[in-house]
Amino acid sequence: MRKLTFAMNMSLDGYIAAPGDDLGWSVPSDELFQWWSDRVAATGLALYGRRLWETMSSHWPTADQQPDATPAAIEYAGRWRDMPKVVFSTTTGTVDGNARLVTGDAVTEITRLKAGDGEPMDIGGATLAAAAMRGGLIDEYAIVTHPVLVGGGTPFFTALDNWVNLTLMETRTFPDGVVLTRYETKP
């Protein structure tokens, strides 16, 4: 069975994007950017919701070809392109690169993917992750908390019908007061 992790940046008040989908508060330090890059390299399959896919696919396929691309951005872009991806959307017609599109029920497909063999999977995008949370499919939460209050926007967590008990696996502090906490779901 494959492990599924929900890993995202989060404001201290619990949002992955501020109103208007503003992500300006979550610019990573070099050390945090390397952590994200290493995470992409270790991910066997990334599951994206439509909006996160649009954000990532509008930048990373050619980010390493930009004249101001740093060595870290070049490394991340290559890793991101190489990582297999599944995009879940009922409104997107096609996806390109190393991705395939799923237009059917997300929980059914994620359940099928988890049941197979393979490297760990990451899930990203608030709506998609919320469906996986409600379906009890997430094995780990990797929360990268930034010391900012954005006051609203897209929440990291969704409303749940039942409690989800967690075990703390790791804490780590990055520059600028950013804190990583990793939790594993208890059976």
pLDDT score recorded for residue 93:
87
pTM of the model: 0.94
Closest listed residue to residue 137, CA positions, set 166, 169, 102, 107: 107
Question: For the packed helices 50-57 and 126-134, what is the interaxial angle rounded to 10 degrees?
Answer: 140
Place of tokens 């008040």: 13
pLDDT band at residue 45 under the 50/70/90 scheme? very high
Average pLDDT, the chain: 95
Q: Which amino acid is at 69?
A: A
Question: Tens digits of per-residue pLDDT, 102-130?
Answer: 999 999 999 999 999 999 999 999 999 99
Which tens digits make up the pLDDT trace of 115-173?
A: 999 999 999 999 999 999 999 999 999 999 999 999 999 999 999 999 999 999 999 99
pLDDT of residue 187: 80
In the chain, alpha helices (H): 30-42, 50-57, 71-82, 106-115, 126-134
Residue 170: predicted pLDDT: 98
- Is the model's pLDDT at 180 over the cut of 90? yes
